[in-house]
């Protein structure tokens, strides 16, 4: 073994939101912690849609909103149900979200991840960038004792390893906690960042000052299970789609073509006129949720964030950053206590799961464990957007001189026209009520 | 309303890649020749899998997002060898 191997109390792999939060808690507890990131800086490898729900940051810095490198504060949240030619939008706006502590903010990952990792460094964590963790180190009994990196002599020995290495987590796979592939539980997000002058964004989206808008879209992915999104930044707009890998592969449609269709939709195109492409990007999302979560603690290792499938993706929600931070904080606290108590075995680390069951991280996941199934189900994707749009179109269409036929008959007509089975509609409605209760 | 789309090359030119010396992903074209789905060709967001006339795949690792879609959708054992590029190499998202 080369002499320049490092020893630390803990090593955290991945300086995304989960890793930065875990390293922060360990450093605060006075532990010697190394935070390893393969990108040249935190965020260099990371892509998301664009909204961070910040309340969990209260546990990171008081009054975080005065310093976080925000783009816009989301004060308007809309859901669009679409067919290729129709769109019904439910649009909600509140002034409750335009002042601290706010609800959601648009922010770039390069800015956010760098800011959050900076908090860990300020607390005393050692951040090592441009370094890939390539394997786990284990002792004869199989317990995890550190990591191997791609630096010469770059082994790091530690009492605890916290795997925060994101959706592909090769560490959780190496430890046998996750299957090598799971396309049925994984979605691909592709996104464009499109530049528009700030005043144009304000005008087109009805925003003032640093207000922002977040639109979620259903029925815009050409029948492939998934959805779309549009978020306003200061002088750019993020537009993208999220689609299931199995469905995408079967559809033989190119991902960028799906974004092009959203951008060309009559309900979206006028917002984006003249916008210029600044960055195209792609990233996977673990959507398996509660039922796909691996074991969270083994001897010498914890798993947090996307690596443990903790992204809450249930159609109306795409929340991963706040869950990753919540899990990272819990992992860091648990690891610090276990190190202090001298027991970093799976049993010594078991408090991690208990902590998260008591917090939103596992409570929300448990509550909504069936929600993604409902939203990604075939009928929800292919039949119901058309049914809803058709019904609304008939209700709003003035048919003079033919008399109106009434809402109920309009509804049953729309049901027939869209070849929806009433029995499945009733069953799905019931299941949806249960899944989102 | 329809606006002209940027070409695929222009699209990829908006992304910064620090191309490393080692190909972090390799594809065994011999395995691909017997693959009937060729799901990678459509699914890879960077369009890096190019079918060849002999039924194989031509792959270039240089403009890769390191997303993982290809190894997730590929159903042929051993066709794709997938690793991360060396630390600091590869894609650099400026905004993300
Ligand atoms: C298209 C899309 C839209 C999304 N929209 C939203 C949204 O609007 N709001 C929201 O809250 N969430 C959203 N999410 C989900 C969110 O991005 C994730 O849940 C969140 O980033 C998870 O954080 P993490 O720290 O667990 O993982 P990541 O953010 O993926 O961080 C993992 C880190 O580990 C590093 N790493 C990986 N392997 C290694 C290794 N071997 N060695 C060293 N470093 C390594 C990576 O470089 C990375 O920095 C979206 C995701 C996508 C893809
Ligand atoms: S990489 Fe996999 S999916 Fe693509 S052609 Fe080869 S075997 Fe088929
Ligand atoms: S990792 Fe993603 S971008 Fe890279 S080759 Fe595979 S599918 Fe394409």
Asked if the Cβ–Cβ distance from A279 to B69 is below 8 Å, we say: no
Complex ipTM > 0.85 = yes
In angstroms, the separation between the Cα of residue A281 and the nearest Cα of chain B is: 7
What torsion, rounded to 10 degrees, do the Cα atoms B28, B33, B38, B41 define? 60
In this predicted model, what pLDDT tens digit does every residue of B39-50 receive, in sequence order? 999 999 999 999
Contact at CB, A282 and B73, closer than 8 angstroms: no
Q: For residue A373, what pLDDT is reported?
A: 85
CA of A263 to the centre of ligand 3 (A): 23
Residue A316 pLDDT: 67
Question: Quick one: pLDDT at residue A315?
Answer: 65
Q: Is A282 an interface residue toward B (CB < 8 Å)?
A: yes
Residues in chain B with CB shorter than 8 Å from the CB of A263 are 3
From B40's Cα to the closest Cα of chain A, the distance in A is 8
If you write DSSP's letter for every residue of A81-96 in order, what string do you get? EE-SS-EEEEEEE-GG
What is the per-residue pLDDT across A98-119, written as a single tens digit (0 to 9) for each? 999 999 999 999 999 999 999 9
Chain B partners within 8 Å of A132 (Cβ): 84-87
Provide the chain A residues 59-118 that lie in CB contact (below 8 A) with chain B: 108-110
Residues on chain A touching B45 (C-beta within 8 angstroms):
188, 190, 255-256, 282
Shortest-distance Cα residue to atom 6 of ligand 3: B70
Q: What is the pTM (predicted TM-score) of this model?
A: 0.97
pLDDT along chain A (437 residues), means of 10: 75 98 98 98 97 97 97 97 96 96 97 98 98 98 97 94 98 97 96 98 97 96 95 98 96 97 97 97 96 97 98 85 98 98 98 97 94 85 93 93 92 93 91 87
pLDDT of the residue at A230: 98
Task: Report long-range pairs for A181-184 (Cβ below 8 Å, ≥24 apart).
Answer: A181/B71, A181/B72, A182/A288, A182/A292, A182/B72, A183/A244, A183/A245, A183/A246, A183/A249, A183/B72, A183/B73, A184/A244, A184/A245, A184/A246
Cβ contacts (< 8 Å) between B72 and chain A: which residues? Answer: 181-183, 186, 245, 284
Cα A250 from Cα A30, distance rounded (Å): 51
Please give the distance of CA B87 from its chain centroid, rounded to a whole number: 19
Smallest CA–CA distance from A183 into chain B, residue: B72
Q: How far is A272 from chain B (nearest CA, A)?
A: 9
In a mutational test of the B interface, the residue from A17, A40, A45, A189 whose CB has the highest number of chain B CBs within 10 Å is A45
Res B77: pLDDT: 87
What element of type H or E holds A330?
helix A321-341
Shortest CA gap B78–chain A (Å): 13
Residue A377 has what pLDDT? Answer: 84
| Count of alpha carbons within 13 angstroms of residue A152, beta-carbon side | 0
The atom number, within ligand 2, closest to the CA of B32 reads 6
Query: Does position B1 have pLDDT exceeding 50, yes or no?
Result: no
Task: Please answer yes or no on whether A280 and B14 come within 8 Å at the CB atom.
Answer: yes
User: pLDDT at residue B4 above 70?
Assistant: no
DSSP A156-179: EEEEEEEE---TT-HHHHHTTSS-
């Amino acid at each position: 073994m080369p002499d320049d191997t490092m020893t630390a109390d803990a090593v955290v792999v991945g300086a995304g939101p989960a890793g930065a939060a875990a390293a922060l808690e360990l450093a605060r507890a006075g532990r010697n912690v190394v935070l390893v990131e393969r990108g040249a800086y935190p965020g260099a490898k990371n892509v998301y849609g664009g909204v961070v729900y910040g309340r969990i940051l209260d546990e990171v810095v008081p009054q975080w909103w005065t310093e976080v490198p925000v783009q816009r504060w989301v004060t308007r949240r809309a859901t669009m149900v679409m067919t290729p030619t129709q769109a019904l939008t439910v649009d909600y706006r509140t002034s409750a979200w335009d002042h601290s502590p706010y609800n959601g903010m648009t922010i770039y990952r390069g800015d956010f991840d760098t800011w959050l990792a900076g908090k860990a460094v300020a607390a005393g964590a050692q951040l090592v960038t441009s370094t890939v963790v390539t394997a786990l180190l284990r002792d004869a009994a199989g317990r995890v004792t550190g990591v191997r990196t791609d630096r010469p002599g770059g082994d790091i020995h530690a009492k605890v390893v916290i795997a925060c290495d994101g959706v592909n987590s090769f560490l959780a796979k190496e430890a046998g906690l996750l299957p090598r592939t799971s396309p049925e539980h994984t979605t691909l997000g592709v996104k464009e960042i499109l530049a528009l002058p700030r005043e144009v964004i304000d005008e087109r989206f009805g925003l003032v000052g640093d207000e922002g808008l977040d639109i979620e879209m259903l029925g815009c992915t050409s029948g492939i299970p998934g959805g779309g999104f549009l978020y306003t930044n200061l002088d750019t707009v993020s537009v993208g789609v999220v689609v299931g890998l199995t469905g995408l592969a079967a559809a033989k449609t190119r991902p960028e073509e799906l974004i092009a269709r959203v951008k060309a939709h009559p309900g979206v195109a006028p917002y984006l006129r003249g916008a210029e492409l600044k960055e195209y990007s792609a990233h996977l999302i673990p959507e398996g949720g509660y039922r796909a979560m691996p074991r969270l603690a083994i001897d010498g290792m914890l798993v947090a964030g996307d690596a443990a499938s903790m992204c809450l993706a249930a159609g109306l929600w795409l929340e991963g950053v706040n869950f990753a931070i919540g899990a990272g904080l819990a992992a860091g606290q648990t690891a610090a206590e276990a190190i202090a108590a001298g027991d970093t075995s799976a049993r010594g680390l078991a408090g991690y799961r208990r902590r998260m069951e008591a917090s939103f991280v596992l409570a929300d996941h448990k509550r909504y464990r069936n929600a993604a199934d409902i939203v990604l189900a075939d009928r929800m994707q292919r039949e119901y957007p058309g049914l809803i749009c058709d019904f609304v179109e008939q209700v709003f269409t003035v048919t003079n001189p033919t008399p109106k036929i009434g809402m109920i008959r309009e509804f049953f007509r729309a049901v027939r026209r869209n070849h929806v089975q009433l029995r499945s509609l009733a069953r799905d409605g019931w299941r949806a009520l249960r899944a989102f209760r | 309303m329809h606006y002209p789309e940027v070409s695929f090359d222009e699209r990829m030119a908006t992304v910064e890649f620090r191309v490393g010396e080692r190909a972090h992903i390799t594809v065994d074209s011999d395995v691909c020749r017997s693959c009937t789905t060729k799901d990678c060709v459509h699914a890879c967001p960077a369009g890096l899998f190019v079918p060849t006339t002999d039924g194989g795949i031509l792959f270039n690792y240089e403009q890769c997002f390191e997303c993982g879609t290809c190894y997730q959708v590929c159903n042929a054992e051993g066709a794709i060898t997938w690793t991360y590029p060396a630390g600091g190499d590869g894609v650099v998202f400026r905004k993300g």
